[in-house]
Chain A
Amino acid sequence: MMKQLFPIRHVMGYLASLVLSAAALTVLYADLSDSANIVILLITALIQASLQLFLFMHIGENTETKKELYLNLAYALFVGLVTIFGTLFIFVWGWYA
């Protein structure tokens, strides 16, 4: 009974999130090259994001709301990327030199 009730998947997911955050932190403490750092950050971020999406945000659930979920993700991606690349555009690439 207790075994069925215990949300083992979620606890594991939570622990995995913590481990991934710690792994990302190595960028600060280990003395690696910039490109290695970026690779570490990208990989941990990707795993982290998919962990959140599948485990906690139920993206894999087969329901009639699938369309809304993906539309939502697309919009979030749009806003996120616009913010990041827009900021880079303003402060780095397009900065008045």
Chain B
Amino acid sequence: MDFERFKVHGEPLIYGAMISIALATIGIIIGLTYFKKWGYLWREWLTTVDHKRIGVMYILAALLMLFRGGVDAMMMRLQTAAPEMKFLDAQHYNEVFTTHGLIMILFMAMPFIIGLMNVIVPLQIGARDVAFPRLNAVSFWLFFFGAMLLNISFVIGGSPDAGWSAYFPLASLEFSPTVGNNYYSLALQISGIGTLLTGVNFIVTILKMRAPGMKLMKMPMFIWSALLTNVIIVFAFPVLTVALALMMFDRLFGSQFFTMSNGGMDMLWANLFWVWGHPEVYIVILPAFGIYSEIIATFSKKNLYGYTSMVFSMVIISLLSFLVWAHHFYTMGQGAMVNGFFSITTMAIAVPTGVKIFNWLFTLRKGRITFTTPMLYTLAFIPIFTIGGVTGVMLAMASADYQYHNTMFLVAHFHYVLIPGAVFAVIAGFHYWFPKVFGFRLNDRLGRHAFWWIAISFNVTFFPLFLLGLMGMTRRTYTYSAETGFGPLNSLSFVGAVGLCIGFVILVYNIYWSTRYMPKDTNGDPWDGRTLEWATNSPIPAYNFAIVPKVQTRDAFWTSKVDNIPLFEEKITKIHMPSNTGKPFIMGVIFFIFGFSMVFSLWIPAILAAVGIVIVMATMSFDRDHGFYISAEEVIATEKKLRGETV
């Protein structure tokens, strides 16, 4: 066998990455063995079907990927900080911006949001778990191993290097002969299947498992956003699945779907990619709208202004998200009629989004506002996102887009929507729901410290890019000469990136500090919350609710506190729980082996792994698992203990 193709040559940075991956792996293995945690890890985490633990694993993976994607970002900003920098070469720079995009969107933003949905959705609807707990574990492990497959590409064989959108013909075998884009097609495929399953799971959960009395129009706004997000996932992801499969056929088996000859059509890739890609943007942004709605209502001490219009604007956004994709390639060659159509649908999205912005502002009006860390992120989101939105409308004008297309202006625009729209939201949600999961709050002073670093540095990093774009700097250029005059603004942007780094370091330090020093919450409701998740104990017991709540109003927990409407009326009885299973994890591992073998065209291991996948799926469908019961006495004892009473 030819081992040469597994190697990545060249730079000290890549060797550094190899060594750090090896050291981290060895460190984890030694640590687990030394502290005798293998059994604990397997029993409590790898085989779990508990939605809260799966959610926590999603968020941990997302934080890890945030670090990886952040390092990529720092490398890019350093490389462009001054003219003629020699930090990265062109190839390495291509790989870095490609993986930065892929990781931040698919392996950071999405899993972070899906993690928060996992933790919060069942709690907010008063359920004991998602509809299909086992499928949930399958989703997580497919996502996780897909993400790992993409991550090892950097040190084994080479990363994808044709941009996160992997446009053909550049991404074809002819112009990208390395295995990089094979990794792209397989890693995304595997984690995409996981995401699709999540979509199915959460739609069923939200439609079928709500607490008695919770009508659709009484659901918390985060649940509405999660429902619509998952609907978009279910209808958008199949397009990606098909497109990636065609890409794989082209690259591995010599088919001609996206080639420039033999009846192939290279531009069809861009088309299919954005048919999925634009809804994808809303998949990461709609849940953020939900998170902000919860936070604004809680910290203004008011119910959300214009609930019905909020719901309808999200429904309209979710429908429109499927009608705008061509605005990503106005310059590809279609006529004015097509561009005009997609221009109008794109601008139409600004209307429901504007409705939402005004609803949030009216919720704040005359509210008793407390400036906690999550609220600060939310308040910063509104003006920053509006800048992103307005520049979005600028880009939506097809004729003007001929000027902005693929310049740094575009890069600045989508960071101005995605960072406040997704990253601020998940950080806000992280701070907001942290006490629910772990039983203590993150320190507010450190949190606010991190917030100011992040919010200010964000603008310092990305605002200059608008100007650079207007000056004519194109995206994905790895270097430029001093005569272009791009130097000073790029240096400023690098300074901002360092500030962002400091902000995230403080954020992580806050987690460490709070774990050691923050006092335990005892009543499960640290923020004086409005929705059902605050009605259980913190940390949440495995069964979530000792008694299934009865819902009568929109902010069910709030009205139960203010108007003394009882939530829990029935008696505690035994609770049925799903049992843990190791099969999803094993299936993930086999999928990883399958993906890796396919990337390198190792057919025999690929076939064996494929057979293995089918066998695991078959055994899963023939499993007879009736779950187990937690007895009423045990539930009562747990409840007392969590409330701090002596048993």
1/0 per residue, CB under 8 A from A, across B308-342: the answer is: 00000000000000110110000001111110010
Query: Measured between C-beta atoms, what is the minimum distance from A54 to chain B in Å?
Result: 20
Find out whether the CB atom of B235 lies under 8 angstroms from the CB atom of A96: no
- How far, in whole Å, are A64 and B338 apart by their CA atoms in the complex? 42
CB distance from B547 to the nearest CB of A (A): 26
Q: Contact check, A97 vs B275: say whether CB atoms are below 8 A apart.
A: no
Q: Is A82 located at the chain interface by the 8 A CB criterion? A: yes
Q: Which single member of B231, B239, B325, B334 contacts A95 (CB below 8 Å)?
A: B334
Once the chains are docked, how many angstroms separate the CA of A75 from the CA of B232? 10
Interface string of B264-290 (1 = CB under 8 A from A): 010110010001000000000000000
In whole angstroms, how far apart are the Cα atoms of A96 and B402 in the complex?
Answer: 15
A25 is an interface residue with CB less than 8 A from chain B: no
Residues of A in contact, count (CB < 8 Å): 16
Let me know if B602 is at the binding interface, CB within 8 A. no
**Judging by beta carbons under 8 Å apart, are A75 and B275 in contact?**
no
Report whether A75 and B231 are in contact in the complex, using a CB–CB cutoff of 8 Å. Answer: yes
- Whether the Cβ atoms of B338 and A82 lie closer than 8 Å is no
Is A34 engaged at the interface, CB distance under 8 Å to the other chain? Answer: no
The listed residue (A75, A79, A90) touching B271 by CB distance below 8 A is A90
Q: Does A7 contact B (CB under 8 A)?
A: no
**Is B637 at the interface (CB under 8 A from chain A)?**
no
**Residue from A76, A86, A96 within 8 A of B275 (CB atoms):** A86
| A41-68 interface bits toward B, Cβ cutoff 8 Å, 1 = contact, 0 = none | 0000000000000000000000000001
Given contacts A82-B323, A96-B333, contact A90 B239 (CB under 8 A): no
In this assembly, does B207 line the interface, its C-beta being within 8 Å of a C-beta of chain A? yes
- Contacts A89-B338, A97-B335 given; does A82 touch B271 at CB 8 Å: no
Give Cα distance in the complex from A87 to B243, angstroms.
14
CB pair A95–B335 under 8 Å, yes or no, is yes
Contact with B along A81-96 (1 / 0, CB 8 A): 0110011011100111
The size of the chain B interface, using a CB distance under 8 A, is: 21
Q: How far is A94 from B323 in the complex, measured between Cα atoms in Å?
A: 16
Shortest Cβ gap from A61 to chain B (Å): 16
A79–B323 alpha-carbon span in the complex (Å): 9
Partner of B338, one of A75, A83, A94: A94
Which residues of B (255-271) have their CB < 8 Å from a CB of A?
Answer: 265, 267-268, 271
8 Å CB contact of A91 from B271, B322, B336, B341: B271
Question: In the bound complex, do residue A83 and residue B239 qualify as a contact, i.e. CB atoms below 8 Å apart?
Answer: yes
Expressed in whole angstroms, the Cα–Cα distance for A76 and B338 within the complex equals 23
Interface secondary structure of A, over-half rule: helix
Cα distance A10–B462 in the bound complex, in angstroms:
57
Of the residues B207, B322, B326, contact of A90 by C-beta under 8 Å: B326
- Please, which residue of chain A has its CB at the minimum distance from the CB of B318? A75
Are A86 and B335 within 8 A (Cβ)? Answer: no
Report the bound CA distance from A76 to B242 in whole Å.
15
Which residues on B sit within 8 Å (CB–CB) of A87? 268, 271, 275
- Tell me the minimal C-beta distance from A84 to chain B in angstroms: 10
B334 touches A94 (CB 8 A): yes
Asked whether B235 lies within 8 Å of A90 as measured between CB atoms, the reply is no
B337 touches A94 (CB 8 A): yes
Q: Which residues of A contact B236 (CB under 8 A)?
A: 79
In the assembled complex, which residues on chain B have CB atoms less than 8 Å from the CB atom of A91? 265, 267-268, 271, 334
From B207, B235, B265, A76 is in contact (CB under 8 Å) with B235
Task: Give Cα A76–Cα B236 distance, bound, in whole angstroms.
Answer: 10
Interface contact B334-A96, CB-CB below 8 Å: yes
**CB within 8 Å of A: which B208-266 residues:** 231, 235-236, 239, 265
Q: How far is the CA of A79 from the CA of B267 in the complex (A)?
A: 20
Q: Quick one: which of A75, A82, A86, A97 has the most chain B CB within 10 A?
A: A86
Kindly provide the distance from the CB of A2 to the nearest chain B CB, expressed in whole angstroms: 17
| A94: chain B residues within 8 A (beta carbon) | 334-335, 337-338, 341
Q: Which residues of A sit under 8 angstroms from B333, Cβ to Cβ?
A: 95-96
Residues 67-79 of chain A: 1 if any B CB is under 8 Å from the residue's CB, otherwise 0?
Answer: 0100000011011
- CA distance in complex: A76, B207 (Å): 18
A94 to B341, CA, bound (A): 10
A82 to B207, CA, bound (A): 26
Give the distance to chain B from A70, nearest Cβ to Cβ, in Å.
14
Chain B residues whose C-beta falls within 8 Å of the C-beta of A86 in the assembled complex: 275, 323, 325-326
Chain A residues whose C-beta falls within 8 Å of the C-beta of B323 in the assembled complex: 82, 86
Pairs across A and B, CB under 8 Å, 16 listed: A75-B231, A76-B235, A79-B235, A79-B322, A82-B322, A82-B323, A83-B275, A86-B275, A86-B323, A89-B338, A89-B341, A90-B271, A91-B334, A94-B338, A96-B336, A97-B335
* Closest 9 A/B residue pairs (Cβ): A94-B338, A96-B335, A79-B235, A94-B337, A90-B334, A94-B335, A94-B334, A83-B275, A90-B338
Q: Which residues of B contact A (CB under 8 A)?
A: 207, 231, 235-236, 239, 265, 267-268, 271, 275, 322-323, 325-326, 333-338, 341
Beyond A90-B326, A91-B271, A96-B334, 9 extra complex contacts between A and B, CB < 8 Å:
A82-B322, A83-B239, A86-B323, A86-B326, A87-B268, A89-B341, A94-B335, A94-B341, A96-B335
